Amino acid sequence: MLSKKQARAFFLGGTLVTFLIFIGLTIFSFSKENDQTNRENLTAEVVRGKEIWESNNCMGCHTLLGEGAYYAPELTKVIDRLNIRYDGNGEEVIKSILMSPSPWQLNGRKMVAYGMTEQEASDVVAFFNWIGKIDLNGFDRVISPLAKEKINK
């Protein structure tokens, strides 16, 4: 029968080994040849867009890369999606929603009116464009069925 000492060794040993593997895999996935985070296309605009995204807690309603609050649409492929719906004017539509002084409420669910400047809205669009080009191991096709149809055409 297992002794307390053996049980402790199992706990400490198992933790140490799995943690080392975890660190190793982290280094592996961010190494240059395995990186798929679209890091090379990060621009100052994109970074500013990310800051706006965070400082307004957009993730508190929307999802991005599948992470967020499921109250408002997934935005990973939002530009593709709106381009199809609004004849290629996806970026303009997003900017007008962000710059609007009154709450956007398509289909009844209200979004906070942020009244952003043109520059801020463009930064957010740059951020969405950057996000849209990340390799998501196939998830992008699931969340963007319209984009998928476009790809298949």
Q: How far apart are CA 65 and CA 98, in angstroms?
A: 20
- Which of 89, 103, 117, 151 is close enough to bind other proteins by CB under 8 A? 103
**Measured distance CA(56)–CA(53) in Å, rounded:** 6
- β-strands 67-68, 63-64: how paired? antiparallel
59: amino acid identity, one letter:
M
Which position among 84, 93, 99, 134 is part of the footprint of other proteins (CB under 8 A)?
134
Kindly write down the DSSP assignment for every residue of 131-149, as one continuous string.
Answer: HHTS--TTHHHHH-HHHHH
Q: Does 3 bind other proteins (CB under 8 A)?
A: yes
Instruction: Report the residue from 32, 108, 119, 153 that binds other proteins according to the rule CB under 8 A.
Output: 108
Q: Which of residues 71-100 bind other proteins (CB under 8 A)?
A: 71-74
If residue 63 lies in a helix (H) or strand (E), which one and from where to where? strand 63-64
State which of residues 94, 126, 146, 152 lies at the interface with other proteins (CB under 8 A).
146
Q: Which residues bind other proteins (CB under 8 A)?
A: 2-4, 7-8, 10-11, 14-15, 18-19, 21-22, 25-26, 28-30, 34-39, 42, 46-47, 50, 53-61, 63-74, 103, 106-110, 112, 127, 131, 134-139, 142-143, 145-146
